[in-house]
Copies of this chain bind each other. A is one copy, B any other.
Amino acid sequence: MQRIHVRELTGRTGERVRVAGWLHHQRQLSKLTFLLLRDRSGIAQVIVARPEAIAELAVLESESVLEVEGVVVAAPQAPGGVELHEPELRVLAPAAAPPPVDLRLAVPKEQLPTRLDHAPVALRHPRARATFELAAASVAGFRTALDRLGFVEIQTPKVVGTATESGANVFRLDWFGRPAFLAQSPQFYKQTMVGVFERVYEVGPVFRAEPHDTARHLAEYVSLDVEFGFVRDHFDVMAVLREVVAGMVEGMRERAPDAVERLGIELPEVPDEIPWLHFSETGVDDVDLAPADERRLGQQYGDFVFLTGYPMAKRPFYTHPEHGRPKYSNSFDLIFRGLELVTGGQRLHRYEDYVAALEARGEDPNAYAGYLEAFRHGMPPHGGFAIGLERWLARLLGVANIRETALFPRDRSRLTP
């Protein structure tokens, strides 16, 4: 008999079926045991009346894996409106100890560090599972939007020979006796690949040796990177980002509606045109926005607002300056619900502009030879952006700590599990 998922039980009243999953909970009454069996789709109630089966269950720890054949019976009070009667049980794998975290409460009672220490079990909680269903759906929506726009997916190396982009916060490793570094972003590679495919994206890990243990930073995270050529300026980049964010929301709506409901989150509406304002219009004197400024913009403009034209002083050397006002840049931040979510912009594309920009910052262009080769041999005007997957999820879920949105987060003090 083919196994079905517990969500498929509804509407099968009277049929004998096979389900399988984890022993979520059992409640022993005088002559009956109510068994809750959990699989990836939900939880089913099983009524166990045979004394031998009750005895067999009684010695099993929660999270043991069971296969159950039984008859589907309507039961309005049970999850899904049905339960299984006359079950035959088979133990596929007994658990060796009680679970280290309680998976039965609607919201886990353990503090985050405990849940992270026991992630292999804690991730089985339906809320945790829902979070990572949303992660997968967001990434699928990201790709669908970009595939539709003619982008090509690339995979670029995560170990690099030079720590050029910022120098600070980079992890060093031993590469056959030579020093090497973990890539902080695929920035240089994705720009280079614009010379090949014109439009590219990458989903991959990036590494930041972030010295502060904050609720907003991870030392390894998933970066959704986009770069494309033949743009007029950063407004073309913002238009693609709008499509991408709409695609990510659509991905969740289509692929993970249960998870959206289970977590009780409200998916944002992405306007056809996201409002924008220029840095010079913010009334901010500094070269950067304070968190309070971002919140204020969120209150004023809604879920999404672009802030464009950040002062060049605050942007990386490859940023393209604004035409006619070179103090400002053709770059932007996307502010989502009052917090910066995405940074992007138009990049320099002429070789001599790169050489000049590096020299102006006191850097040696020779250290960037591999990167500069792309520009030395013709690159179109281009731009792009990067979205941190975990940051996106954290904003969307409204969680206080970004570690809730990584399966096995990595930070200054956490390398396991």
Contacts and interface: CB of A to CB of B under 8 A. Distances in A.
B93 A349 contact: yes
Contacts of A161: 415-416
B171 A175 contact: yes
Contact of A407 (B40, B154, B377): B154
B118 A136 contact: no
Interface stretch (A204-212, A288-296, A313-321, A331-339): A204-212
A412 B176 contact: yes
Contacts of A375: 93, 96
Interface stretch (A26-34, A44-52, A378-386): A378-386
Contacts of A132: 152, 154, 196-197
A378 B94 CA distance: 6
Given A20-B230, A39-B198, A175-B415, A65 B158 contact: no
A180 interface: yes
A61 B198 CA distance: 20
A153 interface: yes
A189 interface: yes
Interface residues of A, number: 97
A20 B171 contact: no
Number of copies: 2
A407 B351 CA distance: 22
A352 interface: yes
Contacts of A63: 377-378
Interface in A375-407: 375-381, 389, 407
Contacts of A156: 407-408
A95 B378 CA distance: 5
Nearest to A221: B155
A211 B20 CA distance: 45
Interface string A353-375: 00000000000000000110111
A328 interface: no
Interface stretch (A105-113, A120-128, A301-309): A120-128
B120 A140 contact: no
A414 to B, nearest CB: 9
Contacts of A408: 156-157, 189
A284 to B, nearest CB: 34
Nearest to A210: B176
Given A159-B182, A203-B203, 8 more contacts: A39-B198, A93-B381, A123-B193, A132-B154, A155-B205, A156-B407, A171-B173, A205-B205
Interface of A: 3, 20, 22-23, 39-40, 61, 63-65, 92-97, 99-100, 118-121, 123-124, 128-129, 132-133, 135-136, 139-140, 143, 147, 152-162, 171-176, 178, 180, 182, 189, 192-193, 195-199, 203-205, 207, 209, 211, 219-220, 222, 230, 349-352, 370-371, 373-381, 389, 407-410, 412-413, 415-417
